[in-house]
Structure 1
Amino acid sequence: MTEELMTQVEAASALLAYIFSGAIGSPKGKGVGYSLIQATPSIFSWSAALEDFDEPATSIHRYLVKVDRRSKEISLPEPIVLSKPELAEAILAATGQHLASSTRFTDGALSVSYKVIVQESQDVAYVVQLRHHGRVASMDALMTLISWTTDSRILPVPPVYPIPGEGKRQETTGMGRQITRLIPGVMASSVYPGLSHEKKLIFVRNIALAFQACWRIQLPEYLIGELIADTIDGRVILRIGPDRHNELGGPFTSVREYLQAHIRSSLIALEKQQGIQEYKDRFLHRIRDFVSNHLHKIPFIVEHIPIVAVHADMGPHNIIVSSETVPEIRAVIDWEFVASAPYASLYRIIEMLFREPAPNGFGPEYEGAAELREAFWATIPDWKHWEQSATTKTFLEWFRFGLFMKPEWPGDLRKDEIEGFWQENIRVVEDILNKYVTFGVYYPAGHRDKFNVMDISLPHVELGSEAEKGDRAANKI
């Protein structure tokens, strides 16, 4: 009999139990941050860390933990670090300069970071990051392309220093090294909530122009998926592959197919979410039925939404601003989440500009939020037209269903506070279920259209035809 191998979900559950057992330190008052580094037929390799999510961003002790799929054994944790000789080798290969000193630096969500000073220029600092999620060679090429083709005053990116052969090295080890110039300043997320309304207005106008510059990058074809950059004979060539960031698959030739994959993925996440049983009892059965039987009702109008290049994590937490003139953008960093996607898929990231930070990612609106929104979209009037269009409103109706289908764990909130914490989740889910599903209604023969005003069957449309692609491409800006 063939022995069954552990699935990724089973391995993740085993990993969490192992980390919460105290394998890398006391988990008291902390959460576990983990992500898959590499999967082979025999081994899952994970990055795992204990994190205090309420504390300011800092350097984090991350560990490599391997789970054997056949034996189900878990390896002893190994610190994920770059030694001083490894840092010296990387800096020399990329810049031709020699290491003088290095210190641990503030980490990204999926990286381990170091600040490096070189002997040749003590007043210049570099950031060396060990990444396992982003394709480092692709990130370097894309950031180089942006620096060549966009106005650095509008969409500034840190200078990059590619390490020769790093793409192949990452394919072998699962982790790649990226070197960029350290840009002086502060993270916008640390200062934006406390800015005056007038300075917030300046910042949202600046970031609107940065979004527009990104959206104007010329895509190689009309597909939805990960945007990958290759350097070939000194030229940067873009291509689109399957969506890795959210594990949706693809690349998708249809917006409807993309939305369907997005919603199905959200349902899987909802089914796995712990600590929300009251919510599941209320909605899970209805959501499962809706996803199984009603996704064909996504209106064809969504196919007209512009597909653009997006930095899918371009929120204030990845924007460096001047510490003296705060609204001035000094750099947009962490280009590992880059995609060819509908522009409105950035809904949650853009909403960060208008809402206070919150554990569920949807905090109360700032005072003057309406004016902030108007300032953002009025700065890029072509996109304001799309933002107000029926196409975008319909797309967001279905996209937000995927976003808000799974609520966050309410933590220690009292029972009477949980409903408010989940308010937007409940509203979005109930709105779409009530609009597109009618339960328990009897339709006399020949009178379905008369009575079923909520359950509209859309005409069949063959997706992916050359004519349709041309029509959709014409809606790009």
Structure 2
Amino acid sequence: MAEQLIELDEAVSALLAFVFSGAIGSPKEKGVCYALVKTTPTEFSWSVALEDIDGPALPIDRYWIQIDRRSKEISSPQRIMISEADLSEAILSATGQHLASSTRFTDGALSISYKVTVREDPDIAYVVQLRHHGNVASMDSLMTLVSRTVEPHILPVPPVYPIPGEKRRQEVTGMGRQITRLIPGVVASETYPHLSHDEKLIFVRRMALAFQACWSLPLPEPRLIGELIATDVGGEVILSVKPDRHHGLGGPFSSVREYLRAYIKSSLVALEKQEGIEEYKERFLEQIRDLVHNRLRNIPAIVEDIPIVAMHSDMGPHNIIVSRRTPIDIEAIIDWEFVASAPFASLHRIIEMFFREPASNGFGPEYDRAGELREAFWNTIPDWKIWAENEATQVFLEWFRFGLFMKPEWRPQDLSESEAREFWEENIRVVNGMLQKYPE
């Protein structure tokens, strides 16, 4: 009789119950942030943290937790960290310099970070990040390619310092170390909402050029859809396309329609698993299931015409470093974990961040005169404006937005009646539109 192993869904439920029991601290008024780091035939491994979602962006303790797929036994949490000895070894190997000091630094969503100084040059600081999602060797190579081929005033990236042997180390441990130069400044998500309209216009024009620079990176032919991997081969950076890991879609896909079908089916799975939205599910889930299971064949062939490009899939204000003194000046684009070869319009949600106020549901109200911001963005890159208005793009966005807005975020209980109504407004509008256009 075959051995019964627990599957991922059951393991996630056990993990959350374990964390909410207080295993890594009091969960009161906190959310659980977790990410699957490694899967083997006998074990799941996660990075897990308790996070004050509304609190300041401070370093938080993340823990390595494993679940045995046979016995369901959960390991004792081990704090994820880089020891001073490891920091010293990494800096020496990558830069030839010697560690002077290190302090915990503001973390990314999928990494822990340290600010490091060296004895040889106290005016220079580095950021050492322990990443469990990003392919560090690929990130280093891609950022090097960008710095070599794109003008730094258009698409600035922090200098990277590859650690010899880190690719193999990440393959074995599930975590990789990345070293970049610390770029002084502040993230644009803190400053952009407070800029004047004229300042926003300048900023979105600059961001349009940055997006265009990404989209212009040369991709291998034929152009496939998936995760973009960069490999250094004797000093030359070679790009290839592998299965999508960001959404777990698989691939790579040679067809835009197949990519959309995989994306929408993945969105349905996420909707089915989402908790705390029972009112929404009772109203829409069965109709959405029916559409997804029976009418994805209706995606028109014209979507195959949409350009497939290289992209930083998370190039929103939260990953842009700007000058503290002049916050319309872009100092660096950071966190190149999510890099893809994909239809350019799949960046719809990210680009919309520059036209909308921040919101907990991810799609806030438009800024005053948002139409002028959009015009400024697309008029700066007129060749792409033509594509943005093209029928292939509009049809693609109809289906892509269905996948994007199919699952609403959990709605807080303390909202006013009008706030509660507005919270899922875009989800309901998009889903209703598709249900009406593609009835049974």
Relative to the length of structure 1, the TM-score reads 0.91
C-alpha RMSD of the superposition: 0.8
Q: Per-residue CA shift, 1:160-201, capped at 9, x if unaligned? A: 000001000000000000000000111000111111111111
Quick one: distance in 2 between partners of 1:202 and 1:371?
A: 11
SS of the residue corresponding to residue 126 of structure 2 reads strand
Q: Per-residue CA shift, 1:243-294, capped at 9, x if unaligned? A: 0111000000000000000000000000000001111111110111111100
Letter in 2 for 1:249: G
Deviation at 1:414, TM superposition (A): 4.9
Deviation at 1:80, TM superposition (A): 0.3
Q: Per-residue CA shift, 1:297-316, capped at 9, x if unaligned? A: 00111000000001000000
Quick one: distance in 2 between partners of 1:217 and 1:11?
A: 40
Identify the match of residue 418 of structure 1 among 417, 420, 429: 420
Q: Per-residue CA shift, 1:381-430, capped at 9, x if unaligned? A: 11111111111110000000000000011011356643321000000001
Equivalent position of 2:148 in the other structure: 148
Q: 2:137 matched to 1:137?
A: yes
Letter in 2 for 1:296: R
SS of the residue corresponding to residue 397 of structure 1 reads helix
1:12-27 to 2 correspondences below 5 Å: 12-27=12-27
Letter in 1 for 2:428: I
Quick one: distance in 2 between partners of 1:380 and 1:13?
A: 46
Q: Per-residue CA shift, 1:91-141, capped at 9, x if unaligned? A: 000000000000000000000000000000000000000001000000000
Q: Per-residue CA shift, 1:3-54, capped at 9, x if unaligned? A: 3111111111111111111111111111000000100000100000001111
Deviation at 1:2, TM superposition (A): 2.3
Q: Per-residue CA shift, 1:422-454, capped at 9, x if unaligned? A: 0000000010111011x4xxxxxxxxxxxxxxx
Deviation at 1:325, TM superposition (A): 1.3
Equivalent position of 1:370 in the other structure: 371
Quick one: distance in 2 between partners of 1:328 and 1:206?
A: 9
Equivalent position of 1:111 in the other structure: 111
SS of the residue corresponding to residue 347 of structure 1 reads helix
SS of the residue corresponding to residue 35 of structure 2 reads strand
Quick one: distance in 2 between partners of 1:267 and 1:323?
A: 42
Quick one: distance in 1 between partners of 2:105 and 2:368?
A: 34
Equivalent position of 2:65 in the other structure: 65
SS of the residue corresponding to residue 373 of structure 2 reads helix
Deviation at 1:60, TM superposition (A): 1.2
Quick one: distance in 2 between partners of 1:389 and 1:2?
A: 54
Equivalent position of 2:276 in the other structure: 275
Equivalent position of 1:357 in the other structure: 358
Provide structure 2 residue ranges, at least 5 long, that are not aligned to the other structure. Answer: none
Equivalent position of 1:452 in the other structure: none
Quick one: distance in 1 between partners of 2:220 and 2:165?
A: 25
Range moving further from structure 2, 40-49 or 50-59: 50-59
Quick one: distance in 2 between partners of 1:369 and 1:56?
A: 28
Letter in 1 for 2:314: D
- Return structure 1 stretches of 4+ with deviation > 3 angstroms: 414-417
SS of the residue corresponding to residue 278 of structure 1 reads helix
Q: 2:180 matched to 1:165?
A: no
Quick one: distance in 1 between partners of 2:197 and 2:39?
A: 47
Equivalent position of 1:316 in the other structure: 317
Quick one: distance in 2 between partners of 1:382 and 1:57?
A: 38
Quick one: distance in 2 between partners of 1:303 and 1:54?
A: 41
Quick one: distance in 2 between partners of 1:396 and 1:173?
A: 39
Deviation at 1:357, TM superposition (A): 0.5
Relative to the length of structure 2, the TM-score reads 0.98
**Could you say which structure has the larger radius of gyration?**
1
Equivalent position of 1:383 in the other structure: 384
Quick one: distance in 1 between partners of 2:9 and 2:102?
A: 37
Letter in 1 for 2:430: V
Quick one: distance in 1 between partners of 2:7 and 2:143?
A: 35
Provide structure 1 residue ranges, at least 5 long, that are not aligned to the other structure. Answer: 440-477
Equivalent position of 1:302 in the other structure: 303
Quick one: distance in 1 between partners of 2:399 and 2:420?
A: 24
Q: 2:431 matched to 1:429?
A: yes
Letter in 1 for 2:165: G
Equivalent position of 1:463 in the other structure: none
SS of the residue corresponding to residue 122 of structure 1 reads coil
Count, aligned residues = 438
Q: Per-residue CA shift, 1:213-234, capped at 9, x if unaligned? A: 0000000121000000111111
Quick one: distance in 1 between partners of 2:304 and 2:60?
A: 42
Equivalent position of 1:128 in the other structure: 128
SS of the residue corresponding to residue 198 of structure 1 reads helix
